[in-house]
Amino acid sequence: MKKVSCIFISILLIISLAGCSPDFNGSRTGNDSQFIMKYTAFNTTDSQDLLVEAGDKINAKIVIDGGHLSIKIQKGQEEPVYESENVFFSNDFDLDIEESGTYTVTVTGKKAKGSVRFVVENS
């Protein structure tokens, strides 16, 4: 009976651990001019502050290999200069910045696989 209980508990443990997915599995680089992540699992929220001058651009490259992302770029508590939810397709774009300041890039993943790249390009 003891052996059967041990086997049963072991099977339950294996099944419960198989259902767990990591919050983040990948690499991340960030500083005041770039925010780059490559991941095989992204199930959380991450953000990076970028210092941007008026006339600069934020170049974005989004690669979606699975799942989806929500992305927001905003200066302080102002209205976001860019916001997109439930992104499930890859996309490249440039965001023209009209006001100097610190812009926070926030990315939230749901079962996401792929990469994101936000780089400040000086004018």
The pLDDT-based confidence of 8 (bands split at 50, 70, 90) is low
Residues 28-47: what's their mean pLDDT?
98
Give the start-to-end residue ranges of the domains of the chain.
Answer: 22-121
Structure tokens at 49: 């502050």
Distance set, CA 25 to CA 28, 80, 122 (Å): 10, 28, 31
Query: According to the model, what pLDDT value does residue 19 have?
Result: 56
The CA distance from 108 to 100, in Å, is 25
- pLDDT tens digit string along 41-100? 999 999 999 999 999 999 999 999 999 999 999 999 999 999 999 999 999 999 999 999
32 φ/ψ angles, rounded to the nearest 5 degrees: -75, 0
What 3-state DSSP class applies to 78? coil
The CA distance from 101 to 76, in Å, is 9
What architecture is domain 22-121? Sandwich (2.60)
Q: What percent of the chain has pLDDT over 90?
A: 81
Q: What percent of the chain has pLDDT over 70?
A: 83
The pLDDT-based confidence of 121 (bands split at 50, 70, 90) is very high
Residue 21 has pLDDT above 80, yes or no: no
Residues 96-120: what's their mean pLDDT?
98
The residue that leads in pLDDT, 2 or 56, is 56
